[in-house]
Copies of this chain bind each other. A is one copy, B any other.
Amino acid sequence: MGNAEEEKDEEWTGEKFENFSEWYNEVIEKAGLSDKRYPVKGMNIWTPYGWKLMQNIDRETRRLVRETGHQEVKFPLLIPDKEFKKEADHIAGFEDEVYWVTKAGQNELDIPLLLRPTSETAMYPVFDLWVRSHADLPLKIYQMVNVFRYETKQTKAFMRMREFHFFEAHTCHATEEGAEEQIEEDLEIMEELSKKICMPYLALVRTDWDKFPGAEYTVGADALMPTGRTLQMAGIHQYKTNFSEAYDITFEDEEGEHKHVHQTTYGMAERLVGAVIGIHGDDKGLILPPEAAPTQVRIIPIIYGDEETIKSYCEDIKAELKKEGIEVDMDDRDERPGSKFYDAEMKGIPVRLDIGSDEVEEDNITLVRRDTGDKQTIDRDELTEKVKSTFKNMQEDMYEKAKRHLEENIEEIDELSEIDEEKIYKFGWCGKESCGKEIEDITGRDLLGTPYHREGFEGECINCGKKTETMIYLSNTH
């Protein structure tokens, strides 16, 4: 056995770490998460297993945003040219990426319509009708829809698509403080969701030249992939009155004065699925957090002896778990156990229950945990309790493991020349755009931003040497 340092490193080895892209595509195909054979580039088919995983994540998101008083709406997909073109920075940021509908039936449309790349410009023309007085504030709505961006970079399932599934919350507030509190709330929602999908992340305030088009500032939630590159999973944006001035969204305050509302948005895309696949999987396939898994338990009857008795024992177990609200299925295909294990592992099903004649005879069950591979024999009558405690342990352990990976891959440096690995670096920065862009040029990597929750720092800008209290993060990004 090596020393502690070496053991730690062993956690981050294997096919997934050596050749991530191949591993990722293969797992998606074999686990049945998505079908990329649809005849339009960058637009994949959500197959049942993948769509269920997305819906489970959506279910958690819905629960969290409803609890915080957001209401679900659904705006039309098509946005008129004229509405789209009201906020200058926003147009500049998106105009090269939008799909245009120019024809309907045999007619050229008088006004071209674009497919939403995000819904600010669909929503904000009516917000002024919805918000009249301070009593209508805060307005907190969200929707879950498909959005369209004409990506020119290479597309990748769940990570960079031309049509993708999108959660977007939009809020209006009477004051800037109200909007700032909303951003705090959004970060709490992100934190809770990250526990559900076992996905630690960094909350970083993007640089000015990398913020959302039209935003005052943007907080990105970045996960670390096995490649050592980061993946933005969510964006939380402070708009101040940038859009409300462009769309004239005003309210009457308590003194009868008309003012522009302060706005925020919170966006998350199907990248959450991409991150879950990438961060938790291993060389046997997916590993899904129990609270997000489409199938939480799979029963595998191992039949060499009395088929009827084993099957009825299994059916009993299935019924008990189902009654407890656990998503359970049974693989009773006429296949070898090995091929059934392979399938359950590939799909990342958190808990496997292997049941053969020994188990039936001794009135117990062999429980196998997907993440660690640990096997244990449990008594039949502690089934529910043990399954639930295994879920709980897996949730915690998977989160902690991913967190360890993230933390071990952040290095604080004070010379740019120290950058020689695929990981996250952090260092002092004077805050000047020119200096920041020079750092990006020199390293060929992206500045991710400064911690939203400030870390105490006193040092010098890694580029110009100026004294600074600002720490900034840098990585290659997916």
Contacts and interface: CB of A to CB of B under 8 A. Distances in A.
A345 B45 CA distance: 43
A76 interface: yes
A333 B468 CA distance: 52
B96 A73 contact: no
Nearest to A70: B48
Interface stretch (A34-42, A196-204, A205-213): A34-42
A106 interface: yes
Given A45-B75, A48-B73, A104 B98 contact: yes
A163 B51 contact: no
A414 to B, nearest CB: 41
Q: Which of A55, A76, A106 has the most CB of B within 10 A?
A: A76
A78 B44 CA distance: 11
B75 A38 contact: yes
Interface residues of A, number: 51
Contacts of A71: 48
B106 A103 contact: no
A151 to B, nearest CB: 10
Interface string A13-31: 0000000000000000000
Contacts of A99: 78, 101, 103-104, 113
A100 B101 contact: yes
B43 A76 contact: yes
A104 B163 contact: no
B150 A76 contact: no
Contacts of A125: 38-39
Contacts of A48: 71-73, 141
A177 to B, nearest CB: 25
A4 interface: no
A153 interface: no
Contact of A73 (B47, B83, B103): B47
A48 B80 CA distance: 23
Interface string A55-99: 100000000000000011111111110010000000000011111
A229 interface: no
A52 B35 contact: no
A146 interface: yes
Nearest to A104: B150
A163 B78 contact: yes
Given A71-B48, A141-B48, A38 B76 contact: yes
A456 interface: no
A113 B44 CA distance: 15
Interface string A224-265: 000000000000000000000000000000000000000000
A80 B47 contact: no
A51 B73 contact: yes
A1 interface: no
Contacts of A80: 39-40
Given A46-B75, A48-B141, A77-B163, 10 more contacts: A38-B76, A38-B125, A43-B77, A45-B74, A45-B76, A51-B74, A77-B77, A77-B146, A99-B103, A103-B112
The 9 closest A-B pairs by CB, nearest first: A46-B74, A43-B76, A48-B71, A104-B150, A100-B103, A96-B105, A99-B104, A102-B102, A105-B150
11 contacts: A38-B125, A43-B78, A45-B75, A45-B126, A74-B165, A77-B163, A99-B113, A100-B103, A100-B104, A101-B115, A102-B102
